[in-house]
Amino acid sequence: MDRDPRPVRVKLADLEPVGADEAPTKVRIRRIITRAEHQSELTQGVCWMDPGEQTNRWSSRERFDAEEAEHWYGPVDETYYIIRGRLRLTWDEGVFELGPDDTVYLAPGWTYHLENVGDEPAFFVYNMTPAQE
C-alpha cells in the first residue's frame, strides 16, 4: 500500500455501531479511523456500553493465552477518554474507576476487562497503535 494519508472529517452521527455480538470485545463499538480506510498508523473508535454491560477479557500481551483472555490484539498501546458514564477497568494488577473527563492508558503486555458500573449508558473514545486494520 502506498502511504499517502489525507486529513479526514468523520461525523459520529453518520456512523452505525457494530453490534455487541459482532464486536471483538462484545460491546457496541465503531472504528472511525483505520489503516485500511485512512492509511493511519493508529486506530480510533468509539464505544457505547449500557449499565451492567461488560466486555470479555482481552489481552495485549506478546503472545495469546486462551485461558487468560477471549480476545487478543497483540502488543498495542491503547487509550480511552471517557465522555459519559461510570466504568470499572480491571487489569492483571488492579482496578481503575473511570468517569467523565478521565483518560486511561492501557499499556501493552496486560489483560483487561471493562464494565459499566453506573446507572446510565457510558460512551468513550479509544485509540490503539499500531493500527488494527
Distances in Å between the Cα of 92 and the Cα atoms of 16, 43, 69, 132 are 32, 24, 11, 23
- Give residue-wise pLDDT tens across range 19-77: 999 998 899 999 999 999 999 999 999 999 999 999 999 999 988 888 888 888 889 99
The domain limits of the chain are 35-129
pLDDT of res. 79: 98
The per-residue DSSP string of 38-95 comes to: H--SSEEEEEEE-TT-B---EE-SSS--TTT-SEE--S-EEEEEEEES-EEEEETTEE
CA 24, CA 45: separation in Å to the nearest integer? 13
| CA–CA gap between residue 131 and residue 133 (Å, rounded) | 6
Query: What's residue 2's pLDDT?
Result: 63
pTM: 0.92
Question: CA 34, CA 88: separation in Å to the nearest integer?
Answer: 27
Instruction: Tell me if the domain spanning 35-129 has CATH number 2.60.120.10.
Output: yes
Above pLDDT 90, what percent of the chain? 81
* C-alpha grid cell, residue 67: 485461558
